[in-house]
Structure 1
């Protein structure tokens, strides 16, 4: 089958899936155009965040591009950049348990990973009854008018849209959690500490709803923007090469914890050689100082970016069940 015909058939299947659920076909999930591993379900349902286009479009809009980085035909490792249509890929469980998780993949604010911290975790969640929404957010260095707040705008909007459309997914609008990885962990923590920040103008009735997650799970997160603790690449992509100290403080979630922040689950490996474990510790200390419930797990070994696939065979492999047990304990799952 040639690639043009394959693309048309795929598009037809996607439209059929949207029609079957009574939804309007929206922008397709990111794809690298190469063959996908067999047996792994791919999302066919997406939700565009902004009905009239994302606000603050750069004068020279970026061009979306997805790259397949894996050399293993059985494992995908895609990364997407140049996003101008921020959106969520939807994963529905066979039997919804009423709870939803907004998944925020990492990528150092340089790109957004698709599989390792997005689709793989979404499949794990749906197998256990959670509805999962994988967020593909705009990147801060592309020239958007919101600047460093552009990613938070997308995360806030995503939370409000999930709540607004909760009946379509058989979920409780209050039970919507956030989980993020690495730079996505920074965005997760930013969302859970600055959920009331006015980062964009209201566009419809969904924006009347709150953006505060029920609970937040930053996994091996970037937190501090302070030199020496911050992940240098994420800091530069988010804030620029030489940001003023006030901007560093504004985008360091450990320095912006409100009294009504949601409960947190924090996970990090002490041998992380990309994002220092001090990031997780600083966030925990700040949450404790504000009497916010926080569950913290530090593993001796695990490195960075383990997700599910790189945790296999290590003690840190248990982390998703630790999160699930904690989620039960706070009434989320």
Structure 2
């Protein structure tokens, strides 16, 4: 990736609205119930759009957080109705210079806060990575940017992380993407269409590359082919009766460029929500373009295992497999 590192780092706090001291940021999604003791919650956020998202809403939205867990010691929140897309920041005690942008899943109906967001971020920061959990806008909630709505936010988030690299003691080149389920679709879409023009530039950050250093779509939604697509994600992203051209445009396996970043793919073959064929097709598309890819298919694991539901199964090894692979591509 060709990036002018000196330009990226020098004056990174000078752009209006991008300094942490420039004004109050929107806090993380509010907890709807008391939180368990001992779990660090993020307090630092970065708003993506200083003057609001570059799109119109069909009707007003209210950000809503739902707690789905019945265990008082384990949170499982989801959030919907996001109108102020933002990143929750997790800083390690000893930064290793690399950052990971996390896009949690939720079928494009909501965004999972804990299982595929904060828990992953805590695991990463314990190992020196700076983590950014992205709360992106949902495509089925009436934004004029339609199916590109999540990608608009993901591109912007990658650019802002690079623009703010000095604030976080990270190398602006070493910013990875990791996503889960529908967030895996967003991760793969970003890795395929990082150079697509999906919004007009709003400031200096938008002159930077949105290409991830590497990408890790985990049990991802990939194809919009109705034969293997996750029906809910497909419907909320594309509508009830999309054209074949719209399906193709939003199937990352059909849009892999020759300069796509290295990929780490992971799926359980007994996934009864998002068929593993999504990952198989993604791997084939990357191979066809000679893009480096490592693929892990596990017999058991189901869907949405994250960290907590992988315990005691062979798939429990996945985070360490990712970390070992990350070293091989020069990320960590």
TM-score w.r.t. the length of structure 2 is 0.93
The aligned residue for residue 143 of structure 1 is 142
Q: Are residue 77 (structure 1) and residue 79 (structure 2) matched?
A: no
Distance 1:142 1:267 in 2: 29
Q: Write the deviation string for residues 214-256 of structure 1: whole angstroms up to 9, x where unpaired.
A: 0000000000000111000000010001100000000000000
1:40 matched to 2:39? yes
Query: Are the counterparts in 1 of residues 181 and 219 from structure 2 also a CA contact under 8 Å?
Result: yes
- Counterpart of 1:50? 49
- Quote how far apart the aligned CAs of 1:59 are: 3.6
Cα deviation, residue 32, structure 1: 3.0
SS at match of 2:121: helix
- Whether 1:230 aligns to 2:224 is no
Question: How do 1:231-250 and structure 2 match up within 5 A?
Answer: 231-250=230-249
How many residue pairs match? The answer is: 313
Separation in structure 2 between the aligned mates of residue 271 and residue 87 of structure 1, nearest angstrom: 34
Deviation at 1:23, TM superposition (A): 6.5
Distance 1:175 1:46 in 2: 20
Which residues of structure 2 form unaligned runs of 5+?
A: 1-19
Cα deviation for residue 331 of structure 1 reads 0.5
Task: Supply the RMSD in Å over aligned alpha carbons.
Answer: 0.8
**Partners in 2 of 1:61 and 1:124 — Cα distance?**
36
Q: Does 1:273 align with 2:295?
A: no
My pick for the range that moved more, 181-190 or 136-145, is: 136-145
1:11 matched to which residue of 2? Answer: none
Q: Partners of 2:32 and 2:270 in 1: how far apart? A: 35
Deviation at 1:33, TM superposition (A): 2.7
Q: Distance in 1 between matches of 2:75 and 2:22?
A: 28
CA drift of 1:22 comes to 4.9
Cα distance in 1 for partners of 2:323, 2:36 equals 28
Using structure 1 for the length normalisation, give the TM-score: 0.93
Give the deviation of 1:143 after TM superposition.
Answer: 1.3
- Structure 1 match to 2:112: 113
Alpha-carbon shift at residue 24 of structure 1 (Å): 3.7
Q: Report the Cα distance in structure 1 between the residues aligned to 2:21 and 2:90, rounded to whole angstroms.
A: 16
Alpha-carbon separation, structure 2, partners of 1:50 and 1:181: 24
